[in-house]
Amino acid sequence: MLPQCENCHSTFGWKKVYRYILGPQYKPFCCHGCGQNHYITVSGRLVNSLLMICPFWIFVQFFSPFSNIFLTVGVGFFLGFFGSLLSPYFTKIKRDQPSYY
C-alpha cells in the first residue's frame, strides 16, 4: 500500500513517491491535500536501498546461470530496477523533521 499523509490521510501517488525516492531526500515531501511536509524515515531509506541493491547482488553472486558476464550484469540491473519500481509501496514517510543519523 502506498504511504499516506499523517495529517489528512490522503494517499500519495506512486509517481510522486518514486520521484522523491530517486531525488534528494533532504527536501520536504509536500502533501497535495493539506500542504504538510513529510520526510522519508531512516528505515524507509534502508528498505529502499535493499530493494534496489539486493536483487542485483543476490542474482550476480548466487543465481547466475549465464557464462557471459555482460548478460549476468544486465539481468542483475533489470532485477534491481524492478526492485526500485516496488520501493514506493514499502516506503515509510513521517511528517517530522528529517533524521540523518
The answer to whether the CB of 37 falls within 8 A of the CB of 95 is yes
The set of cell numbers assigned to 23 is 531525488
Measure CA of the first residue to CA of the last residue in the chain; give whole Å: 26
Q: pLDDT tens-digit profile of 3-36?
A: 888 888 888 888 888 888 887 766 778 888 888 8
Query: Is the model's pLDDT at 99 over the cut of 60?
Result: no
pLDDT at residue 54, as a whole number: 86
- Residue 101 has a pLDDT of 53
pLDDT band at 100 (very low <50, low <70, confident <90, very high): low
Which has more confidence, 2 or 63?
A: 2
pLDDT digits 0-9 by tens, 38-55: 888 888 888 888 888 888
What is the C-alpha to C-alpha distance for residues 78 and 44, in angstroms, rounded to an integer? 22
- Type of residue numbered 56: F
Q: What are phi and psi of 72, to 5 degrees?
A: -60, -50
What is the pTM (predicted TM-score) of this model?
A: 0.71
For residue 52, the one-letter residue type is M
